[in-house]
A and B are shown apart, each in its own frame.
Chain A
């Protein structure tokens, strides 16, 4: 251990022997680290937002359906349990939130236009906490309850249909016997969503009104469950599975929307590649600094070897010097990243490019997400790769013959 202190002191002093070079290298490491963490925070913020938005549309972290529903989402493939049975099983199960709902394809027709939509028959009170619709921001009003006879459309869909609050539209779908099931509804509200395509795709009616219209009694097509963390749904899955039998299929949100699931997995891989790419650019500077630092003190290295320092200690000294340089650079970069990301956590308005972002399901506000895991990843990658990069100059330094090194001009 005493050698570690000897080498650390030498390494620290040698680091500051050439102030300018060290400051330049520290700046490069700090800016590189800042860039790694800042870009990672922006990207993670964007992807997290896309996932959270996506999950709110799914909605829920776990769903149950009839086993054939995901392939054929029609009213024919309903959950085998009645609404009454579902309430008995899940009411006191400790979920953050849960709701049963009817979700079927339908056509909505105004006096001017028709559009295909996803018709959602919901209990608005049960879904208030996780719905992608802000009930209070609805133009007009949102549904009052499961028996509400009105319909809430997306604002964009209303534009397309050339309808508005107070006018009537007709919703048409099929019942379980493949007979037309339709009914006229008054438009009671228009909702707004972060993403325009969401406003065009959904129509909300009361759950019992939907059950009556589709002639399905008190059955539903899906039940949605919300847990504590969308990244860790397994406890929720286990809880749900313990309360149902094989007649229904339990699906995680990653299975309901495979695009979103893939994005989350891809994100971590992207972070690692991004961090490594930046480090590779940095590593040229680091290796050059170390090579120069070794080259300009060959005689001193020879002297230390002559005085009885072992080659392994010379190797250790150069590596410690490199690690110190990286550690100080990382510290500055981490602080810089924190100081620049924190003020932006309230969101960055990217509406200038929001049209393009919608293609990816992202909203016009970007919320940087400074994740401690990403900071640790960036720091670890830099330290580990920095260690590897410093091995070559350190190894060369330790291989000098003392007598040759001392007489080196």
Chain B
């Protein structure tokens, strides 16, 4: 069963006098439980594709399906519901809400969903321990390192066990040890919970963990390889 299906996606941005084709008649299908790396040079279209899959950006044409729902024609409210229920996001930076503690950040999505306080607390403590942040629950983002912040963001993305996790350069601000730990965590979740991961990255180290590498150039897929992960 497809977790994600993109059919003939086009997206053009205007930059000054130039039209930039971020997605150029791109089609791709990702099965449930896959661990996919989107790779391209800067401006290759991987973030645009990730945003289109997450319903953050609407393509100019084409179709985006998440499981059996077509999302490119949904309203903002429907897209918000979809993201809340099915998708976990990890962004490159500005990942956390600065006025909330680590634990509150992790609880945020559950709180919006209406999960009872006791359950939220239990889950958030457990997931923070899982990502190695036990004891830092009451720290605010400004009191944590970049790596710790990124791990909080990962914890928030996976705490509700979404079917799909979209990560945009999740290791960009991390040292190699923290990057490896993060990728191990992703791999574990992928294997144990069958969570589908789509990760946009430049990072060669991340590619080693992926079971499928999708290379993009100028908004098109130029290579799509299945491999044995590390």
Interface residues, chain A, with chain B CB atoms under 8 Å away: 2-3, 6, 10, 13-14, 17, 299-300, 303-313, 401-403, 406
B99 touches A307 (CB 8 A): no
Q: Does B114 contact A (CB under 8 A)?
A: yes
Number of interface residues of B (CB under 8 A): 29
**B14 proximity list for chain A (CB < 8 A):** none
Known contacts being A305-B80, A307-B84, A309-B112, is A13 close to B95, with CB within 8 Å? no
Rounded to whole angstroms, the CA-CA distance of A14 and B76 in the bound complex is 25
Leading 10 A-B pairs by shortest Cβ distance: A308-B84, A13-B99, A308-B83, A403-B56, A310-B80, A403-B57, A299-B94, A2-B114, A402-B56, A6-B111
A10 touches B91 (CB 8 A): no
Q: Does B97 contact A (CB under 8 A)?
A: yes
Rounded to whole angstroms, the CA-CA distance of A296 and B77 in the bound complex is 24
B91 touches A303 (CB 8 A): yes
B89 touches A304 (CB 8 A): no
**B89 proximity list for chain A (CB < 8 A):** 306-307
Q: Does B51 contact A (CB under 8 A)?
A: yes
**B80 proximity list for chain A (CB < 8 A):** 305, 308-311
Q: With both chains docked as a complex, state the minimum distance between the C-beta of B179 and any C-beta of chain A, in angstroms.
A: 22
One digit per residue, 1 when the CB lies within 8 angstroms of any chain A CB and 0 when it does not, for chain B 66-95 equals 000000000011001111110101010011
Known contacts being A3-B112, A13-B99, A306-B89, is A403 close to B84, with CB within 8 Å? no
Known contacts being A306-B83, A310-B80, A311-B76, is A17 close to B56, with CB within 8 Å? no
B94 touches A303 (CB 8 A): yes
Q: Does B43 contact A (CB under 8 A)?
A: no
Q: Does B108 contact A (CB under 8 A)?
A: yes
Among B108, B109, B112, B113, max chain A CB count under 10 A is at B112
Among A2, A17, A306, max chain B CB count under 10 A is at A306
B77 contacts which of A2, A299, A311 (Cβ < 8 Å)?
Answer: A311
15 A–B contacts from the bound complex (CB under 8 Å): A2-B114, A10-B100, A303-B96, A303-B97, A304-B97, A306-B54, A306-B56, A308-B80, A309-B80, A309-B84, A310-B76, A401-B56, A403-B57, A406-B56, A406-B94
**A304 proximity list for chain B (CB < 8 A):** 97, 108
Which residues in chain B, 90-132, are within 8 Å of chain A measured between CB atoms? 91, 94-100, 108-109, 111-114
Known contacts being A14-B99, A17-B99, A403-B51, is A307 close to B109, with CB within 8 Å? yes
Which residues in chain B, 138-189, are within 8 Å of chain A measured between CB atoms? 156
Closest to B113 in A: A308
Closest to A15 in B: B99
Rounded to whole angstroms, the CA-CA distance of A305 and B56 in the bound complex is 9
Q: With both chains docked as a complex, state the minimum distance between the C-beta of A175 and any C-beta of chain B, in angstroms.
A: 87
Q: With both chains docked as a complex, state the minimum distance between the C-beta of B137 and any C-beta of chain A, in angstroms.
A: 16
**B57 proximity list for chain A (CB < 8 A):** 401, 403
Rounded to whole angstroms, the CA-CA distance of A49 and B12 in the bound complex is 74
Rounded to whole angstroms, the CA-CA distance of A308 and B100 in the bound complex is 17
| 12 extra A-B contacts, CB within 8 A, seeds A6-B112, A307-B108 | A299-B94, A303-B95, A303-B97, A306-B91, A307-B109, A308-B80, A308-B82, A308-B112, A310-B76, A310-B81, A401-B57, A402-B56
Rounded to whole angstroms, the CA-CA distance of A14 and B99 in the bound complex is 6
Closest to B85 in A: A308
Q: With both chains docked as a complex, state the minimum distance between the C-beta of A397 and any C-beta of chain B, in angstroms.
A: 14
A308 contacts which of B51, B97, B109 (Cβ < 8 Å)?
Answer: B109
A13 touches B112 (CB 8 A): no
Q: With both chains docked as a complex, state the minimum distance between the C-beta of A309 and any C-beta of chain B, in angstroms.
A: 6
Q: With both chains docked as a complex, state the minimum distance between the C-beta of A37 and any C-beta of chain B, in angstroms.
A: 33
Rounded to whole angstroms, the CA-CA distance of A191 and B84 in the bound complex is 82
**A312 proximity list for chain B (CB < 8 A):** 77
